[in-house]
Amino acid sequence: MRAPSAAPEHGGGAVALGLVAALAGVGAFALSCGHATPLPAWQAAQSKRNEITALWTQIRDWRREAGLQVEPEATSVVQMRRMSVSTAARACVRPKGQRETCADVCDLADAICDNAESICAIAVELGDDAWAQDKCDSAKASCREGQQRCCTCDRAPGATP
């Protein structure tokens, strides 16, 4: 009785490997010579919604790191409807010479505002999409609350002198 070997006896592995390589080459040739077919409208819109969800999820994580509630106040979200992200970001004047802990909170606030800008730009691309606009308004409210948290970091509960 023979012990099983790792190599195939009839060269089947080499044939399969050659076939895979040939198919990969044909696929690469087709991609380089052909034109990319655009995604159907529903698929492109869903892709943009997925981008918003990813950015919004980051905002929620950063809010928690900054010591904020995961979601902004509902009244704050409503107030953001007609406000731009840059206006929301001008919530206060940052104190000079902030401590290291406040610098971290302020960096998080800036990152939240950057994501809000991206979310709102995607919402504009999606046009009349109520879900996307709601995420934009929520992101703007998070930007504003993050900036306010940055400005009051030294006075926040648990802050050390």
Tens digits of residue pLDDT in 10-47: 444 444 434 344 444 444 444 455 567 787 888 999 99
Listed in sequence order, the residues at least 6 apart from 11 whose beta carbon sits closer than 8 Å to its beta carbon are none
- Residue 149: inside a domain: yes
Average pLDDT, stretch 129-156?
92
Is 32 part of any domain?
A: no
Burial of residue 137, with CB atoms counted within 10 A of its CB: 0-12 exposed, 13-18 middle, 19 or more buried: buried
> pTM of the entire structure?
0.71
How many domains is the chain partitioned into structurally?
1
Residue 27 lies inside a defined structural domain of this protein: no
